[in-house]
A and B are shown apart, each in its own frame.
Chain A
């Protein structure tokens, strides 16, 4: 189910990821950068805007689970 090409990519948070809200990350993919809805792998984690993250899971079409890099 997971896209192997997405997992392991590094990205940057453009919308803060919190326990309640949906965050947003920009991830370079297919030669460009796309933004994905992001959740933290640790649900209690809070990742501020601008932090670097690594995609650990990909839920098509547009959702990724990220962890702090």
Chain B
């Protein structure tokens, strides 16, 4: 061991010093900025501040202190921010039920009084502090909400903090706690009150939004339509111009196509014009020729004829006038002569007539006298003769009338006898008439001899008998005819009566009218 003694001493001192530091380090307790040391035990009596008198433990903040184990106990109280969640059902000032979820942020107060209060209550139950605060604050929050309306709760943060302070501040002071903040995180609104609160505004905003959108849409549509209209207008203008140009092109093409035929037609036209001129010239020439050859001679002849006719007419007029003059003179002479002769003749005739008339008048008187005498004589003779004849006729008529009457009576009595008598009277004439056919016969051959002849005669006679029969029939028929006439008269009388009756009926109907 060659270690020098002083070195050992130095090493020993250093070792002791180190040991001492280690020991002191183990005994020295330092408070962190966010915590307080609560030291209780021997010698730990309120020496921290002069207001801490009566405090039976030591509070160390922001510093260090020697703690002697087995004599003293040190505990740490956290001054950190703590928060407690709140979830409660409560009722507002208006009686509206709400479910609130919030958070209260608190800490142990920094002053020694608060630390002391808290240390006495929570020192071993720091982990339960949130639960305690939650229970305390639930009641406070109900009271706070009960003094507020929903609108205030939402908008008036100042009032919320004010009420929080008033209702819970003092009680939290007892616990040594201070409330930094109370936040309401969620409001469960089963009645839909909050939703309804916002609905009018939401509806108004939505309405405004829709109005604005509609206006914008309208403006946009208007602009679009205007743009469409302008586009259509531009298209129309373009198409019109295109059509115009196309028409011009077509026109030019048509003109080009027509140029050939047109030139040809113009050429033909020129030719025709020239030909027309030629024809006109020819016509003029012909006219001139006709003027020379036809018209002029005709005019000359006409003039000649007219002149001659006029001369002849004048000659005839002169002759006629001379003749008229002559005739007039002759007529006057003749008239004078005739008048003289007529006067003479008239005188002569008048004298003759007077003589004749006297002669005739005398002769006529004589003639009348003789004629009257002759007539008287003849009239007397005739009268006598007539009287005689009249007597004779009357006598004869009386006799005939008697005979007819007798015959008529007889006829009425026995018609057949009368007829027979008449036949007997006329028989020769009848037979003659019957035999007349035979009389015209030159030679008659009778085949069965004399007997035959007698048969023939008998036959003729029988024909006469048959004629008598016929005559009788005729007579009876004439009687019937006479009766028929009587009937006719009767009928005529009836007809006359009927006509009279009809006439009166007609008169009656006329008066009725």
A and B co-occur in one complex: yes
**Most chain A beta-carbon neighbours within 10 Å: one of B111, B166, B178:** B111
Contact indicator per residue, chain B 154-169, by CB within 8 Å of chain A (1) or not (0) = 0000100110011001
Q: Is B149 an interface residue (CB 8 A)?
A: no
Q: Is A28 an interface residue (CB 8 A)?
A: no
Contact check: which of B51, B158, B165, B178 meets A22 at CB < 8 Å? B165
Q: Is B92 an interface residue (CB 8 A)?
A: no
Q: Is A24 an interface residue (CB 8 A)?
A: yes
* Chain A contacts for B114, CB-based, 8 A: 60-62
Q: Tally B residues with Cβ within 8 Å of A.
A: 17
Looking at the assembled complex, report how far the CB atom of A60 sits from the nearest CB atom of chain B, in whole angstroms.
4
* Chain B contacts for A1, CB-based, 8 A: 51
Q: Is A11 an interface residue (CB 8 A)?
A: no
Contact check: which of B111, B161, B166 meets A62 at CB < 8 Å? B111
Assuming A3-B51, A63-B173, is B165 touching A24 (CB within 8 A)?
yes
Q: Is A35 an interface residue (CB 8 A)?
A: yes
Q: Is the CB of A61 within 8 A of B169?
A: no
Q: Is the CB of B110 within 8 A of A15?
A: no
Q: Is the CB of B169 within 8 A of A60?
A: no
Assuming A37-B169, A61-B117, A62-B178, is B109 touching A21 (CB within 8 A)?
no
Q: Is the CB of A15 within 8 A of B165?
A: yes
Q: Tally A residues with Cβ within 8 Å of B.
A: 18
Q: Is B30 an interface residue (CB 8 A)?
A: no
Q: Is B419 an interface residue (CB 8 A)?
A: no
Q: Is the CB of A60 within 8 A of B162?
A: no
Contact indicator per residue, chain A 1-22, by CB within 8 Å of chain B (1) or not (0) = 1010000000000011000011
Q: Is A45 an interface residue (CB 8 A)?
A: no
Q: Is the CB of B51 within 8 A of A21?
A: no
Q: Is B184 an interface residue (CB 8 A)?
A: no
Assuming A3-B51, A61-B173, A61-B176, is B166 touching A22 (CB within 8 A)?
yes
Assuming A1-B51, A3-B51, A35-B178, is B111 touching A60 (CB within 8 A)?
yes
* Chain A contacts for B170, CB-based, 8 A: 37
Task: For the complex, give the distance between the alpha carbons of A69 and B111 in Å.
Answer: 24
Q: Is B113 an interface residue (CB 8 A)?
A: yes
* Chain B contacts for A30, CB-based, 8 A: 110-111
Q: Is A34 an interface residue (CB 8 A)?
A: yes
Task: For the complex, give the distance between the alpha carbons of A18 and B221 in Å.
Answer: 62
Chain A to chain B contacts (Cβ below 8 Å), 19 pairs: A15-B162, A15-B165, A21-B165, A22-B165, A22-B166, A30-B111, A34-B109, A34-B110, A34-B178, A37-B170, A61-B109, A61-B113, A61-B114, A61-B117, A62-B109, A62-B111, A62-B173, A62-B178, A63-B173
Binding site for B on A (CB under 8 A): 1, 3, 15-16, 21-22, 24, 29-30, 32, 34-35, 37, 49, 60-63
